[in-house]
Chains A and B, each alone.
Chain A
Amino acid sequence: MQDYKYIGHSAERVDGIEKVSGAALYTDDLEFGPDLLYAEIVEGPHAHAMLNSIDTSEAEKVPDVLAVVTGKDFPFNFGLYMKDRYIFAQDRVRFYGEQIAAVVARTPIAAQKAAKLVKVNYTPLPKILDPLTAIQEGADLIHPELKNYDRVPWFFPTPDTNIAHHRKIRKGDVDKGFAEADYVLEDTYEVPRYSHCAIEYHAAVAKFDHSGRLTVWASSQSPHTQRNLFANALAPLGIRHNDVRVIVPHVGGGFGSKAGVTMEIIAAAIAMKVQGHPVKVMWNREREFYNTYQRLGVIAKLKIGVKKDGSITALKHDLYWDAGAYVEYAANVVNAVGLSAIGPYRVENASIDSYCIYTNLPPGGPYRGFGYSEFLFGLESHMDRIAQHLGIDPVEIRRRNAIKEGELTAYGAPMNPNGLLQAIDRVAEEVRWHEKLTSNDPNIAIGKGFSLFWKAPAMPPNASSSCFLKFNEDASINLLVSGMDLGQGFLTVMAQIAAEVLSIPTSKIRTENPDTDRNPYEWQTVASHVTWGCGNAVHKAAIDAREQIFDLIERTKHLPRETLYLEDEMVKCTTDPGFELLLKDFVIYGIQMEDGTFKGGPIIGRGSFMPEFTSTISDPETSQGGHPNVHYTVGAAAAIVEIDKQTGKVRIKKIVEAVDCGKALNPSLVKGQIVGGIMQGISTVLYEEMKFDHRGKMLNPNFTDYKIPTALDVPDEIIPIIIEVPQPDGPFGARGMGEHTMIPVAPMIANAIDNALGLRITSMPITAEKVCLALLKKEKKK
């Protein structure tokens, strides 16, 4: 194995001191001076209604109010993958709490007061709060104009229905596969909506200055995508890409909620109406719940056929997604799952139908895991049930079916190198899978559960990353990238990659969150792709800088370049041990020649990366033929739980999770992702529950009623395991792993509960109440 000096080590975070000292500034911490204006949003109190008229006259009279804006001011639609969204509702509102208008005033109090005086006239329409109702014959259309929306070529709406996209897989012959099966299991699994709950709210400040420049400071995962969407949406007002500048300070958690564009466009648009003033739009905890993206809900009908030995003969997976009122981003979640809902298994005969369905609930969107947590809840529950029926060990059935390198995915492309079997074996060993656990307390049941996981980045085939690397006089470096550090440690890892190539300590590399005017292009920080994609760009930029250094030495010192190498901030030579030249002596100043002239000049590395092998072009009826995903990251996990039979309360004793990240560039950060992701997964299965009333209004948009775990709820033990089967096209073999860590948690806990109590729960969340009631029901039956 190659010895590395900077990567593979648990370097301290480059933003660590800022964060522990309180120096780190987030969007709401920035100061904009006494000229700052505040916007208050007027929200619609209907899940579905025609918007007839808006009377802003009373609101405009409130002292200190500068402007009241409505949909009429911005009759533009926008969206990431499909343009079905509006800055403010136009003629129709589609979810409870949707933004109708905004008041801009000198003080928040004046804005709030005026917002209450905006009078809106509605005609309520029938509302649709679940996906199965939405696809019934004759259901009211939530987006009658669906077929006219601009969209990416890989979306297939069904015109004049509420189906915004339908991804189909047809591989092999499922009928034949089921006919050959010795056992077929069919059931339905339900996973409801969830909220990201980043502790920092969404926040945006925008200023359209008198020179025509639009600057937006936002808490965002996607600065360049925001610039692009702002410029496109506001083009009718004369805005071009180079007029827009997006600056992102520290971000207090994202988990998908701050990807793409949501509330930030409100700030950008209203700034255009109060030229010269910065204007701030702050969300609050309630709006975080009901007017940002939510994780989609799904009803998944799953049918799997197997031989007696457990090998899968056919799989049919029909997924009905509750995608909400606008699906400009959500439809790609549905698409990603459509492509991958066979799970990490070898399945020759597969049929998948993944339906993106409009409902009158808040817009669905990206959430850590991008749909994979949702479908794996059913799939991995199903695998356990099949194993049980056949009398095969749950670990063994997974081993037998696990997909191997070169075997075909659902869309017919070969699987990448992976350590799935290693992960399974290491987890089984660490959790002592074959040891029987018994409880001395008759009131406590103990059980074990296992689950595999996989996930690929879902992104357009031309999603790209780039990097500038510039040396300073002392050979320290400013590394300019536009990936976002949302907490995962991205910036640290980028610094480590450059450090490794250039043999400069990570601590001498400064890299910070971006400003789109200064930092080069990055698509967005989503899909767990930036370590891989942007890491490749940084790797190339560092090599570019290194080659410039070698060029200069070759030219000025007449040493053959193949003998040159970098070590400890110096250029050295394999054939001349006496030759050592400090980088700081020439990376800016150049090298002086005998005649007194200087050669060289500031060294600036440049790297860009695009996955040139991907394509979304395939047969829409089967999805065969393309190469939509760059690669999959895989892994396995197991849990040991104790359940109190009186209360139904689940206590997690131990979790082991192994993830194949190709190469752990920073093991401490990888482990941080594993532990944090597991906790987020536990939260979705045991604690969190969104409640909506019959009007489609969320009833518990706060942390008192929507519980996320505290330090008192942590498992007794979490054991992270790192597997390293290199990704051939990744930087030092690395591939992404940030989202993946939460994906196996829900099914493995459901499996552990079944193992302990003989109780199969097929809907999330699995609260203590649900376990308790199910137990009572089971007892009664006896």
Chain B
Amino acid sequence: MKKNVFSLNDEIRSIYINPNETLLEVLRDKLGVKSPKCGCDSGDCGACTVLIDGKSVRSCLILAIEVDGSTISTLEGISKDGLSPLQKAFHEHNVFQCGYCAPGMILSATELLKKNPHPSEHDIKEAIAGNLCRCTGYIPVIEAILDFTKKD
């Protein structure tokens, strides 16, 4: 067990971690943060996406000991002070169906818009290509992001 200190959704957390625990396991089972989901546990689906120092990472692929000193955000953090304008846009467009991919998808889109507030359709597709969704057919996700970026 090793003690790790990191910022999670703007709170400093220090926690003992086994060297073989993934960040996804630690977030969900030890810290009670449930928005990152498990859909494959092998880096294929993106449901476990979180932001580490602003960059989207699959938390099932990274060991928790590697995030010592980092800043981690999950959808809980993004929603803390009310829904972000992007989350509102997703809601208004009725984008998600089962919603299981939503936390990962929204974080990937958040990262994209931070880097590139006016992405092309192709940029959007590339940014969310690592997030599998079986329900929506992706087009509603892409359209909502495009519509949102046109508005501001």
Contact = CB atoms under 8 A, between A and B. Distances in A.
Q: Do A and B bind each other?
A: yes
Interface of A: 10, 12-13, 15-26, 28-29, 31, 196-201, 250-255, 284-285, 486-489, 668-669, 672, 675-680, 702-704, 708-712, 714, 718
Interface in B121-152: 124-126, 128-142
Contact of B141 (A17, A18, A711): A711
B99 A711 contact: no
A21 B96 contact: no
A22 B103 contact: yes
**Which residue, of A284, A668, A709, A711, has the highest number of chain B Cβ atoms within 10 A?**
A711
Contacts of A709: 138
**Which residue, of A10, A13, A489, A680, has the highest number of chain B Cβ atoms within 10 A?**
A13
Interface string B20-51: 00000000100010110111111011010000
A20 B74 contact: no
Nearest to B47: A199
A703 B94 contact: no
Contacts of A254: 98
Contacts of B37: 26, 28, 199-200, 252
Given A285-B44, A676-B136, A703-B44, 18 more contacts: A20-B90, A20-B91, A22-B35, A198-B98, A201-B39, A252-B99, A255-B134, A284-B41, A285-B42, A486-B98, A487-B96, A668-B93, A668-B94, A669-B94, A672-B97, A676-B137, A680-B134, A712-B126
B111 interface: no
B39 A24 contact: no
8 contacts: A16-B91, A199-B134, A253-B135, A255-B134, A489-B94, A668-B93, A679-B136, A679-B138
Contact of A21 (B45, B75, B128, B142): B75
Interface of B: 28, 32, 34-35, 37-42, 44-45, 47, 74-76, 78-79, 83, 87-88, 90-103, 106, 124-126, 128-142
A20 B83 contact: yes
Nearest to B93: A668
A675 B95 CA distance: 11
Given A20-B91, A22-B35, A285-B40, A718 B137 contact: yes
B44 to A, nearest CB: 4
**Which residue, of B38, B100, B106, has the highest number of chain A Cβ atoms within 10 A?**
B100
Contacts of A253: 97-98, 100, 134-135
A19 B140 CA distance: 15
Contacts of A23: 79
A19 B133 contact: no
Nearest to B32: A31
A28 B27 CA distance: 13
B102 A714 contact: no
Contact of B87 (A20, A487, A702): A20
B125 to A, nearest CB: 4
A22 B74 contact: yes
A20 B96 contact: yes
Contacts of B102: 19-20, 22, 24
Contact of A250 (B78, B99, B141, B142): B99
Contacts of A680: 134, 137
Contacts of A15: 99
Nearest to B34: A29
A252 B48 CA distance: 14
Nearest to A19: B99
Nearest to A254: B98
Contacts of B137: 675-680, 714, 718
Q: Which 8 A-B pairs have the closest CB atoms?
A: A487-B97, A252-B100, A679-B137, A19-B99, A487-B98, A22-B75, A22-B35, A703-B44
